[in-house]
Amino acid sequence: MRLIVNGAATDVVGPTVADLLATCLNDARPHGIAVAVNGEVVCRSDWPRWALAEADTVEIVTAVQGG
Protein backbone atom coordinates (compact mmCIF):
# COMPACT_ATOMS: atom_id res chain seq x y z
CA MET A 1 0.00 0.00 0.00
CA ARG A 2 1.38 3.41 -0.98
CA LEU A 3 0.71 6.38 1.33
CA ILE A 4 1.86 9.99 1.45
CA VAL A 5 3.65 10.21 4.82
CA ASN A 6 4.89 13.66 5.83
CA GLY A 7 4.76 14.71 2.21
CA ALA A 8 6.68 11.75 0.76
CA ALA A 9 5.36 8.63 -1.01
CA THR A 10 5.90 5.67 1.33
CA ASP A 11 5.18 1.96 0.86
CA VAL A 12 3.86 0.20 3.93
CA VAL A 13 2.80 -3.37 4.64
CA GLY A 14 0.67 -3.24 7.79
CA PRO A 15 -2.88 -1.93 7.62
CA THR A 16 -3.09 0.31 10.71
CA VAL A 17 -1.65 3.58 12.02
CA ALA A 18 0.18 1.60 14.72
CA ASP A 19 1.80 -0.54 12.00
CA LEU A 20 2.86 2.60 10.14
CA LEU A 21 4.42 4.07 13.31
CA ALA A 22 6.24 0.80 13.94
CA THR A 23 7.67 1.02 10.42
CA CYS A 24 8.53 4.74 10.43
CA LEU A 25 9.55 5.27 14.07
CA ASN A 26 10.35 1.72 15.24
CA ASP A 27 7.69 2.15 17.90
CA ALA A 28 3.97 1.42 17.59
CA ARG A 29 3.06 3.63 20.59
CA PRO A 30 5.62 6.45 20.69
CA HIS A 31 5.19 9.23 23.26
CA GLY A 32 4.95 12.90 22.31
CA ILE A 33 3.72 12.05 18.81
CA ALA A 34 0.47 12.89 17.05
CA VAL A 35 -0.94 11.56 13.81
CA ALA A 36 -3.41 13.01 11.31
CA VAL A 37 -4.87 11.05 8.43
CA ASN A 38 -6.38 13.05 5.58
CA GLY A 39 -6.49 16.16 7.79
CA GLU A 40 -8.15 14.53 10.81
CA VAL A 41 -6.30 13.74 14.03
CA VAL A 42 -6.33 10.04 14.92
CA CYS A 43 -6.36 9.62 18.73
CA ARG A 44 -3.62 7.51 20.28
CA SER A 45 -6.20 4.98 21.49
CA ASP A 46 -7.36 4.46 17.88
CA TRP A 47 -3.89 3.81 16.41
CA PRO A 48 -4.04 -0.01 16.69
CA ARG A 49 -7.37 -0.26 14.88
CA TRP A 50 -7.37 2.69 12.46
CA ALA A 51 -7.17 1.12 8.99
CA LEU A 52 -5.21 3.10 6.42
CA ALA A 53 -6.23 3.10 2.77
CA GLU A 54 -4.28 3.41 -0.46
CA ALA A 55 -3.18 7.05 -1.11
CA ASP A 56 -4.05 8.27 2.39
CA THR A 57 -2.18 11.42 3.41
CA VAL A 58 -0.60 10.96 6.82
CA GLU A 59 1.12 13.53 9.03
CA ILE A 60 3.33 12.36 11.92
CA VAL A 61 4.43 15.23 14.18
CA THR A 62 6.21 15.91 17.43
CA ALA A 63 7.25 18.91 19.54
CA VAL A 64 10.37 20.81 18.50
CA GLN A 65 12.02 23.96 19.84
CA GLY A 66 10.03 26.96 18.72
CA GLY A 67 8.12 30.11 19.49
Nearer to another protein, 43 or 53 (CB): 43
Q: Of 55, 47, 48, which is closest to residue 11 (Cα–Cα)?
A: 55
Side-chain-facing half-sphere of 52: CA atoms under 13 Å: 30
User: 28-53 as b/e, with b when 16 or more CB fall inside 10 Å?
Assistant: bebeebebebeeeebeeeebeebebe
Question: Judged by CB under 8 A, which of 1, 4, 28, 60 binds another protein?
Answer: 60
Question: Judged by CB under 8 A, which of 9, 13, 54, 67 binds another protein?
Answer: 67
59 binds another protein (CB under 8 A): yes
44 binds another protein (CB under 8 A): yes
Residues that bind another protein (CB under 8 A): 6-7, 24-27, 30-36, 39, 41, 43-44, 59-67
